[in-house]
Structure 1
Amino acid sequence: MDPVIIVGAGPVGLTLALALARQEVPAVVLDEGPGKDEPRLARTVVLREDTAALLERLTGVPLAEAGVRWAGWRSMRRKQVMRAITFEDGAGPAPLHIAQHVVTGALRAALDGEPLVKVAVDSRLDTVEQEPSGVTAHTRGPKGTWWRGSYLVGCDGPRSTVRKLTDIRFPGRTAVERHAVAALRTELPWPDEALLHRTPPWRTSGPFAGEITARPLPEGVWRLDWLLPPGKDLVTPELLLTRVRETLTGWNGGSTPSYELLDTGVHTVHHRLARRWRAGRIFLAGDAAHLLGTLGTQGLDEGLRDADNLAWKLARVWHHGPQEALLDSYQTERRAAVAARLRAADQVLPLLRGGGGLRSYVPGTARGHDALLTDGHLGRGPLGDPGTYADSPLAPRHLEAEVPVDTPVGAPVTDVRVTAEDGSFVQLRDRLGRGALLVLLVAPGTGVWERKHWATAGIMPRLAAAVAALPHPAELLVAEEYPGAAPHTVLLVRPDGHLVTALNGVRPADLYAAAEATLGGPAKKAEASAGSGAV
């Protein structure tokens, strides 16, 4: 079968290629650039726990060593600290702040040794055609040629050629927010802590609104973002330098510390959502499918979740034949998750950015607004939480033995320590992304015994037989405990780490029904590719 064609060699496209390769699916990445990325310290990303774990699992690189996990978070309004969070004190996992070129570099390095992936540089897409049996793409450039693929995924950014060639609308709003950005090496009073400072008390110069964000990077480097007011006021280098000095002086009690300016830029945030994410054998992912990023949210997080969601579904159909319900679920699940975050941001923006009017009637305005912004920056609440797929068409229905646990159905599972089939102790997230379903038995006490002593005892033989009979390869894991789960609870987990169901004990019929639903229902021997045709 032909490889999957991936258009675009940014973090999302490279992640998708690696995720497919880990599931033994070949891919061709069409990179319109030279195959390397310009180092830009003013272009950074903040990764949440799940997306950072995804990248580390695929690349084998401890990205935390190349970035900074925030020690804490501090929100200020004028001179008052509104909220201070220390992550080591049980405030949840710390976000990882890292330069984007470091992320893409780690992905490219991992792909260099991957025989199932070919990266074609200087290859710009200009034509796409599809038919029931596959997709054909043409690239122009020094090595312009025709490429044949089983499926094609457009990961080619906001101006996506794939989206335009498939005539998919991309409605939304332009320039929802603008920020002036500077990366500089200096010392701030809050080492390794991220800071959000609203309406600082010192006088400001130029077209700057009253909000500054400071995020630490390795080696004493900080990224500073200043919110700009609506409009198209020009931010000159002189104005930005003045703003840097005013900010550093204000944070250091009136004296300006030494600093080295490393990079600058202006970051414009748009809110857009593609009408469709699938057209037959063609899919969209990342910035080609959605744009978001106001109020501290991070668009790359959602792009990486797109890749994780789509990879196992493409791998399933690549190995076992078309399953249209499974492929359709990618758009249903991911588009709904991103749309919910965009709606939340659009509802909150008038409260946080408007002047007077509605804001003046909101009780607890300052602290309430600070909590909303903190949610966005830290990946919590409606502005920042990873999406859940509770209403997914893949969700099983009417399971008699289903029981609740602390993880809602359709949400990402908690990363607990588990015992693998070979007897080794690993983290649950380490077993994701291999294409297999995961079946997790909660069995207190098993951790103190060697696997050979309990693998053939109690309910294990019956559960192992039920797992072997599932309609898709599955790995049986055992955990001492799982949040909210009683002993002998059995959890079924998708390859991308979302909970399918939790069952009260070994229930082979319910387990099989849940696995079958997760795969899109019973497989059909002869199923034509939906929406096929020339583009």
Structure 2
Amino acid sequence: MHTFCDRAPCSTLLFTNVSHGFTGLTASRGRRVMDPVIVVGAGPVGLTLALALARQEVPVVVLDEGPGKEEPRPARTVVLREDTAALMERLTGVPLAGAGIRWRGWRALRRRQVTREVVFDDAGPAPVHVAQHVLTGALRAALAGQPLAHIAVDSRVDAVEQEPAGVTAHTRGPRGTWWRGSYLVGCDGLRSTVRKLADIRFPGRTAVERYAVAALRAELPWDNEAVLHRRPPWRTSGPSAGEVCARPLPDGVWRLDWLLPPGKDLVTPELLVTRIRETLAGWAGGSTPPYDLLDTGVHIVHHRLARRWRTGRVFLAGDAAHCLGALGTHGLEEGLRDADNLAWKLASAWHHGPREALLDSYQTERRAAVAARLRAADQVLPLLRGGRGLRAVVPGAGRGHDALLADGHLGRGPVGEPGTYADSPLAPPEPLEGEVPVDTPPGAPVADVPVTAEDGSLVPLRDRLGRGALLVVLVAPGTTVWAREHWMSAGLMPRLAAAVTALPHHAELLVAEEYPGAAAHTVLLVRPDGHLVTAFAGVRPAGLYAAAEAAIGGAAGSGADTGAQTQADAGAGAR
């Protein structure tokens, strides 16, 4: 074996030769030898998880069954809300507004009438639309600069075995090899091999909706606005032309999606060209304007949810764990949130030893959030796709339908809004003395307010996420007008600093001028993934300690029975 890289003085990484039957990274932390985390799948979710782990000084191996690069497909795109866009920018260091388009607005049309308009300058942060291969390329480039990360191309997993001390995965092919890891995460998509090897059921519905998709360069009558047009008046090619969505991309490119009728009818090139020409002509109010067709496809939406997301040391994330995307919702975003949720928990287990309650909380939190969105979509689908019956008896129902669809496309409401972790097992088990409400409920993502860090720099709160540390934020109006050396030793700060130092997990102390709904001297405790644990009125060392201990899965050694049972449940299922 030979030295692969050296990230930190306490951690020496080694590349293990195949002569011992295993290939992989190991890390020595003091006297404890730890294997890397194995990520199976090199799509956006797998690369995001790997990059988030490497940023928290956890060695990671990505097993990529492909050749190491993604074919450009302009018709495969991603719409990201502000929180997931911020996560991608924080990990890659690439401003997504330059790689994609930040929408200026949203417009819904029904026949010839505008039924809903949203201007994002007034209504809040705008979604970002980016080609998936561009996002994947940015993640790969960032991961290539991480000495703790290794991508193994042409490595398709065909066996997984685990025991109490670790997990091994075998990749097939001419260079078939066993890889040794501390944990393994299957991010290998809808047909996940990891999920099948772990014998995890994946029930749900197939082909909930189908869309014909085209990416083309053309001049449309909207400037960086996304448009949903229902029942366009030019519907000359049958009922399948009843809904079309146009989303802008850089360089004058648009992605167009036409809702297809239920069934398995083939989308022929002739039918798609007819659809493009009549849609562009309808929007232009005359003949078809010039356009350059770049890419086409058929997007089939499935709704599925894995029964389990953890089996011992094996986890699932992204499409391997869930599929959703009807009514304009964006399933990839939930996969990126899986990676954000799981990364800090695996990093904590790798560095400090596993708290089984913390690892189990990944499934509890993320599965509940995705299940809530799936339930909401299943409830709304018959209403929106069930024909004209409701409109005949409920005045204004068409406008209500447009609002529901807008929620899905814009990530709002029960259909589109990401879930919170209100019932998280990481919440304090009982009310703590001094807890106060703020505008962010416990378990929800915190607002991105400016904060002063311990080095005196003024940064957005989201910039301090993803480092594995808890965040303690003091709301102290007026502190920015004073030099840091003055207010750090005044008022509440010495007592709060001492309380933060005594917490059972590494924490960073930050100061904010204000926070929505918080009075002066409110203290917020925030998880490494940006979800609020709780808020206190003033400095409450005992309550802060209890909340921090709950947020990392309880006292050290707690939850061992749960972990043993999880490992026993794995049995031979992951073999």
> Which bin holds the TM-score, normalised by the shorter protein?
over 0.9
Q: Which residue of 2 aligns with 1:378?
A: 410
Contact 1:206/1:239, CA 8 A, preserved across alignment: no
Q: 2:542 aligns with which of 509, 524, 527?
A: 509
Give the match's secondary structure for 2:188: coil
Q: Which residue of 1 aligns with 2:224?
A: 192
Question: Does residue 351 of the first structure (1) align with residue 402 of the second (2)?
Answer: no
Determine whether 1:221 maps to 2:253: yes
Q: Which residue of 2 aligns with 1:231?
A: 263
2:299 to 267, 270, 285: 267
1:16 corresponds, among 41, 45, 49, to: 49
Shift of 1:366: 1.2
Structure 1 unmatched runs, 5+ = none
The aligned counterpart of 2:436 is: 403
Note closer, same or farther for the CA distance 1:359–1:347 as it changes in structure 2 (3 Å cut): farther
1:210 aligned onto 2:242? yes
The reply on whether 1:477 has 2:510 as its aligned counterpart is yes
2:366 aligns with 334
Higher mean C-alpha displacement, 326-335 vs 206-215: 206-215
Per-residue CA distance 1:247-290 (angstroms, 9 max, x = gap): 00000111321110000000000000000000011000000000
Cα deviations by residue, 1:116-137 (Å, 9 ceiling, x for unpaired) = 1110000000000011001011
Return closer, same or farther for 1:525/1:213 CA change in 2, 3 Å cut-off: closer
Note the C-alpha offset of 1:526: 10
Identity %: 82
Q: Secondary structure at the match of 2:439?
A: coil
Distance (Å, rounded) in 1 between the aligned partners of 2:307 and 2:212: 31
Task: State the Cα deviation string for residues 23-51 of structure 1 (Å, max 9, x = none).
Answer: 11111100000000000000001011111
Q: Which moved more, 1:376-385 or 1:455-464?
A: 376-385
Is 1:97–2:129 an aligned residue pair? yes
Report how far residue 63 of structure 1 moved. 1.6
How far the C-alpha of 1:302 sits from its partner, in A, is: 0.2
Distance of aligned partners of 1:410 and 1:526 in 2 relative to their CA distance in 1, 3 Å threshold:
closer
1:461 CA displacement? 0.3
- Structure 2 equivalent of residue 284 of structure 1: 316
Q: Does 1:418 align with 2:451?
A: yes
Alignment of 1:315-334 (within 5 A): 315-334=347-366
The residue aligned with 1:49 is: 82
CA distance in 1, matches of 2:426, 2:395: 41
2:145 corresponds to: 113
CA–CA distance in 2 between the matches of 1:196 and 1:437? Answer: 41
Aligned to 1:30: 63
2:50 alignment partner, SS class: helix
The one-letter code sitting in structure 1 at the alignment partner of 2:162 is Q
d(CA) in 2 for partners of 1:405, 1:100: 36
Residue 4 of structure 1, aligned match among 28, 31, 37: 37
**d(CA) in 2 for partners of 1:479 and 1:268?**
45
Whole-angstrom distance in 1 between the partners of 2:402 and 2:433: 43
Whole-Å separation in 2 of the counterparts to 1:526 and 1:10: 32
Note the 1:454-533 alignment, pairs <5 A: 454-524=487-557, 527=560, 529-530=563-564, 531-532=566-567, 533=571
- CA deviations over 1:328-352 (Å, ceiling 9, x no partner): 0000000000000000000000000
Q: Quickly say closer, same or farther: Cα 1:526–1:220, change in 2 above 3 A.
A: closer
Whole-angstrom CA distance in 1 between matches of 2:193 and 2:203: 16
CA distance in 1, matches of 2:432, 2:89: 35
Structure 2: runs of 5 or more not aligned: 1-33
Count of aligned pairs between the two proteins: 534
Whether the 8 Å contact between 2:356 and 2:559 is mirrored in structure 1 is: no
1:359, distance to aligned residue in structure 2 (A): 4.9
Moved more, 448-457 or 472-481: 448-457
Residue 240 of structure 2 aligns to a residue whose secondary structure is coil
Counterparts of 1:92 and 1:200, CA distance in 2: 29
Q: How much has 1:449 moved relative to structure 2?
A: 1.3
Q: CA 1:382/1:526 → structure 2, altered by over 3 Å: closer, same or farther?
A: closer
- Report if the CA contact (8 A) 1:187-1:220 is conserved: yes
The answer (yes or no) to whether the contact 1:207–1:235 under 8 Å persists in 2 is no
Residue type matched to 1:330 in 2? Y
> 2:380 is paired with a residue of what secondary structure?
helix
For residues 463-508 of structure 1, give each alpha carbon's deviation from its aligned partner in whole angstroms, at most 9, with x where no partner exists: 0000000000000000000000000000000000000001111000
Given candidates 482, 486, 491, the residue that maps to 1:449 is: 482
Question: Which residue pairs with 2:335 in the alignment?
Answer: 303
**Counterpart check, 1:160 vs 2:192:** yes
Hey, what's the Cα distance between the residues in 2 that align with 1:15 and 1:171?
A: 26
Conservation of the 8 A alpha-carbon contact between 1:10 and 1:104: yes
CA–CA distance in structure 2, aligned partners of residues 203 and 437 of structure 1: 55
Residue of 235, 243, 249 corresponding to 2:275: 243
Deviations 1:133-191 (A, max 9, x none): 01011001232100010000000000000000000000000000000000000001111
For 2:551 and 2:307, how far apart are their aligned partners in 1?
A: 25
For the residues of structure 1 that align with 2:66 and 2:470, how far apart are their CA atoms? 36
Distance 1:478 1:95, change over 3 A: same
Letter in 2 for 1:30: L
Conserved? CA contact 2:357–2:558, under 8 Å: no
Task: Say yes or no: does 1:39 pair with 2:43.
Answer: no
SS of equivalent residue, structure 1 residue 208: helix
Residues 115, 399 of structure 2: 8 Å contact kept: yes
Deviation at 1:209, TM superposition (A): 3.8
Q: CA deviation at 1:385?
A: 1.3
Kindly report which structure 2 residues correspond to 1:387-398, keeping only aligned pairs within 5 A, or say none: 387-396=419-428, 397-398=430-431
Partners in 2 of 1:465 and 1:204 — Cα distance? 72
Distance 1:432 1:406 in 2: 20
Match for 2:319: what amino acid?
Answer: D
Contact 2:355–2:558 under 8 Å retained in 1: no
TM-score, normalized by length of structure 1? 0.98
When residues 525 and 383 of structure 1 are mapped into structure 2, their CA distance, relative to the original with a 3 A threshold, is: closer
